[in-house]
Structure 1
């Protein structure tokens, strides 16, 4: 498996490469945003480790542009510790967020966890299961992890897709933000429940045709969210 490191600090990039190789991964390194995006879109990677502060284009813009075409796991790294940066990064489709200085061993643990999770979610078909979930004009193809509305494909990052599938497979049940966050991001994830609100808004922008008359994901005020079956 190959991991892409996009980091302009040479010493940090080499440290990450060394730990990745010790743990059995191949590694490519890009030192600026534009070359990093070019590599990310042209080659196949199991995961991308992405610094936020980059020359060319920053990590936020790179993540957003990459997510238009791929759901490969992305871990953001930053020296900035403000919660707003974490929420923004996760809202743009990153799967995780770590602040510098970081423990290389913890980074490797997260790399392995996200790759394993992605492999499970994109794994082989299980016999006897309906792999196409259709609710009115919404169609979710579980094998290809593709989503369609009225036959038009909607590109979704991994966490948006996971959230949509979780809600769609549990119709008419109300889930709190805390429950959703624990279920989709995990108990040890970086961030907070406001990330759920950001992802719900982004999902609605993609699957709802009339924001004044929601057909799929409704808010249960004071409680959480419910998918209308």
Structure 2
């Protein structure tokens, strides 16, 4: 397995329990107990997944997520006792990929970690993009080979999930995707009607590619159904 997890948690008992379990599962675990230490380790080590609590000394989890997202699209899983819809939306909206509330079972946590790493390493571009050709939509240029997006020649930093959603929409312009289709295509899991994850990722994607996210030109909402990417304004 050999993937490296940066685990950031200031509760020593939880930290020891989770770290030991993940190591038994075959992962390499790097430990940090506060936000500043986490950022130092992130800058020095090759990390495959970031697992962190929201409430941390020196810098909170949201600050860490924002800093990491400036440079990397690795999977980020938030764990926190603040298990409310507001906190979930806040965490995911700033770039986290998943959220698990305390208390949690080690079995559930391990399953989430496995799934996040699997999705990040097994993403396959839509068939129409697999030949490596760039696709242009208005002033967006999507490069599936290098996993980059440019707007008016300027590189836009997207997370892996944001790039996957945009690529899927761009592969079939003007086609309406339901939220379930988007979730199952990108997350590779069954969709049970929880719209929060899709809504948050679409909102964050729009904030990066749209000049006015409140009046989107690219990604259009089809109310009650889902989303589509339009070829013309």
TM range (shorter): 0.7 to 0.9
Q: CA deviation at 1:51?
A: 0.7
Matched with 2:144 is: 142
Kindly tell me: are residues 116 and 199 of structure 1, through their superposed partners in 2, closer, same or farther at Cα, counting changes over 3 Å?
closer
Contact map agreement 1:122 1:144 (CA 8 A) in 2: no
Matched with 1:27 is: 29
Question: In the comparison of the two structures, how many residue pairs are matched?
Answer: 226
Q: Structure 2: how far apart are the matches of 1:64 and 1:191?
A: 28
Matched with 1:80 is: 82
Are residue 45 (structure 1) and residue 47 (structure 2) matched?
yes
Q: CA deviation at 1:87?
A: 1.4
Q: Structure 1: how far apart are the matches of 2:38 and 2:173?
A: 40
Which of 68, 71, 86 in structure 1 is aligned with 2:70?
A: 68
Which of 201, 204, 209 in structure 2 is aligned with 1:202?
A: 204
Q: CA deviation at 1:157?
A: 1.7
Q: Structure 2: how far apart are the matches of 1:61 and 1:174?
A: 35
Contact map agreement 2:7 2:51 (CA 8 A) in 1: yes
Kindly tell me: are residues 98 and 39 of structure 1, through their superposed partners in 2, closer, same or farther at Cα, counting changes over 3 Å?
same
Which of 159, 162, 177 in structure 1 is aligned with 2:161?
A: 159
Q: CA deviation at 1:148?
A: 0.8
Aligned runs of 1:81-100 on 2, under 5 Å? 81-100=83-102
Q: CA deviation at 1:77?
A: 0.2
Q: TM-score normalized by structure 1?
A: 0.87
| Structure 1 residue ranges without an equivalent (≥5) | none
Q: CA deviation at 1:191?
A: 9.5
Kindly tell me: are residues 16 and 67 of structure 1, through their superposed partners in 2, closer, same or farther at Cα, counting changes over 3 Å?
same
Kindly tell me: are residues 214 and 48 of structure 1, through their superposed partners in 2, closer, same or farther at Cα, counting changes over 3 Å?
closer
Listed one character per residue, the Cα deviations across residues 50-101 of structure 1 (whole Å, up to 9, x for unaligned) are: 1111011111121122111110111110112211111111111111111111
Q: Structure 1: how far apart are the matches of 2:67 and 2:75?
A: 14
Question: RMSD of the TM alignment (CA)?
Answer: 2.5
Contact map agreement 2:65 2:96 (CA 8 A) in 1: yes
Q: Structure 2: how far apart are the matches of 1:190 and 1:57?
A: 34
Indicate the larger mover: 186-195 or 114-123: 186-195
| Structure 2 residue ranges without an equivalent (≥5) | none
